[in-house]
Structure 1
Amino acid sequence: MSMSDPHTFAGAYALDALDDDERTAFEAHLATCSECRQEVAEFVSTAGRLAFAASSAPPPALKHSVLRQISQVRQEPPRTVRETPVAQAPQRSPRGSLWPRRLALAACLVAASLGGVATWQHQEARQAREQAHRAEASADQVAEVLAAGDARTHTASLPGGARGTVVTSASQNRAVFTVSGLDAPPEGKVYELWFNDKGTMRPAGLLDRDQSTQITLMDGTIDQADGMGITIEPSGGSKTPTLPPVGLIEFPA
C-alpha cells in the first residue's frame, strides 16, 4: 500500500490491517488529524458492536428431553356419559382412582419441562441484552477516547512479535489498549493489564485469552499513571502481579 493519502487508512488501521511501516506512518498522521481520529473511533465502535451480534442456540439435548417426556404421557380417553341407577351408589375401581393421578403427574412433568425451557430462554435473552448493552457502552467509551482532541498514542513491541498500542486521553482520563499477534497464554493463565503508578501496579482488566488481536478499554481511570504493564496471571486475574511484566509501555507525555 502507498501512504499517498493517509486519510484513506482509517478503516484498515481500526481493523489492524496495516503492516508495521504503514501503521507507524498512519499513527504519526493520526496525532495531528482530528478527522481521522474521529473516523477511527467510529470504525472501532461499529466493529465492537458487530462482534457481539451473535445468536445463542438452545442445547441439542433439550428438544429430545421434552419429546421424550411428552411420549410418556398417555392420551386421555374420550369421555362418555354413564347412567347410574338412582338406588345404586357409584362404583370406583382401583384403576379409575389411580389413572387420573398418573395423568396429572405426567402433565405436571411436561409443564415443568416446558416451564424450564421458557425460563431458560428468558434468562438467555436477558443475559444477551445485558451483554449487548455492556459492549455498546464500552465501544462508545473506546470511541470517545480515540476521538478526543488530546488523544496520545504510543506503540511498543511485545514478546513473540506482538505489537501493543495504548491511546490515552487526559480529558477523558481513560486509556485504550490494542494488541495484535499476541500468543495465547499457557493453559489456566490469562494476560492481565496494569496501570503503572510510578512503579506500583494497579489492575486494569483482563485480555481475552482466545483472541490474538483485540482492543479494550482499560479498567479504571489513568489518574497519576505514567505507563502500563502486561503480565501473565492465573485465570481470573490477580490483585497484584505474580510475575514480572512481559511488556511495559510508557504513556506519552
Structure 2
Amino acid sequence: MTTTDLHRLTGAYALHALSGEETAAFERHLAGCEACAQEAAELSATAARLGLAVAVSPPGALRERVLRRIGSVRQQPPDGADPARPGRVRPRGRMLSRWALAACLAAAAAFGGTAVWQHQRAEDATREARRARQATDEIAAVLAAPDARARAASFGDGSTGTVVVSRSRDQAVFVVAGMPHPARGKVYQLWFDEDGAMRSAGLMDPGRTDQAVLLRGAVDGASGMGVTVEPAGGSERPTSAPLALLSFPA
C-alpha cells in the first residue's frame, strides 16, 4: 500500500470500514501525518453526529409502562412449576412475555446509551480537532513572526532539532526530525532553561519521530531549552540527564 493510498483512507477509517491490517497500516501512517490525523478526527466527529441525528429516543412513558407491567405479573417459579397446581407445568406463554418485556427494557436502555456514547465520542473528537487546529495555528504564527530567530543542533542519535523563538509573541517552537521513539512507558519532555533551573514546557508525541511542538508557557526569562526522557505523563522536575540542550538565539 503506497503513501498516496493511505492518504485516501481517512473516510473509511472514520467509519470503521477498514480491515485489521489496513487499520494498523493507517494508524502507523497517522503517527507521522498531521493532516490525515486532523481530517480523520473531524470525519469521525461528523460520522458520530450523523449517527446521533438519526437515533430515535424511546417514548418517555416506555419505562413506566414496562415497570407497571412487570409489577403486575407474578414471578415465575423455578422450572415453570405452577404453585397453585403442584406437579403441573404452567404454559410458557407468560414466561415468554416476561422475556419480551425484559428485552424491550434492555433495548430501550441500550438505545439511549448508544446515543449518549455517540454524542460523547463526537464531542471528544471535535475538541481534539479544535486543539490540534489551534496548536497548528500558534506554531505557524511563531514561525512566521517577523522577529522569529532559529538555532539548530544535531543530536548524538542522528536526529536534528531546531528551536524558533519569537520574542514579540513570547513563544518558542521546537522542530525535530528523526527522533527515536522513547522506550515503552516513557516520553520526551521539553523544558525551559532558566539559568540552570528547568521549567516544564510540555511533552512531545511519543508516536512521532518528526514533529513541531509549541513549548507550553512563556519564554519569559529563559535562556534556552532542554529535552529529557521522563515517565509517561511527564515529571515536575527532570529525572534524567538532558538528551539535548539548546540556547535560544539572541
Alignment of 1:102 with 2:102, yes or no, is: no
Q: TM-score normalized by structure 2? A: 0.65
1:187 maps to which residue?
184
User: Is the Cα–Cα contact under 8 Å of residues 195 and 229 in structure 1 kept in the other structure?
Assistant: yes
Q: Give 2:202's aligned residue.
A: 205
Q: TM-score, normalised by structure 1?
A: 0.64
Percent of counterpart pairs with the same letter? 47
Structure 2 unaligned segments of length 5 or more: list them. Answer: 1-32, 48-89
Q: Which residue of 2 aligns with 1:122?
A: 119
Q: Which has the larger radius of gyration?
A: 1
Equivalent in the alignment of 1:196? 193
- Give the distance between the partners of 1:198 and 1:169, measured in 2 at CA: 19
**1-structure distance, mates of 2:216, 2:224:** 14
Corresponding residue number in structure 2 for 1:149? 146
Q: Which of residues 96, 109, 112 is equivalent to 1:112?
A: 109
RMSD: 2.1
Kindly state the Cα deviation for residue 95 of structure 1 after the two structures are TM-superposed.
5.0
- The 3-state SS of whatever aligns with 2:39 is coil
Q: Is 1:226–2:212 an aligned residue pair?
A: no
> Alignment length, in residue pairs?
173
Matched, 1:51 2:33: no
In structure 1, the residue matched to 2:69 is none
Letter in 1 for 2:38: F
Alpha-carbon contact 1:163-1:182 (below 8 Å) kept: yes
Deviations 1:113-167 (A, max 9, x none): 2222222211111101000111111111111111111000000112310000111
Quickly say closer, same or farther: Cα 1:196–1:204, change in 2 above 3 A: same
**Per the alignment, in what secondary structure is the counterpart of residue 98 of structure 2?**
helix
- The corresponding residue for 1:166 is 163
Partner of 1:242: helix, strand, or coil? Answer: coil
Q: Is the 8 A contact 1:195 1:222 kept in 2?
A: yes
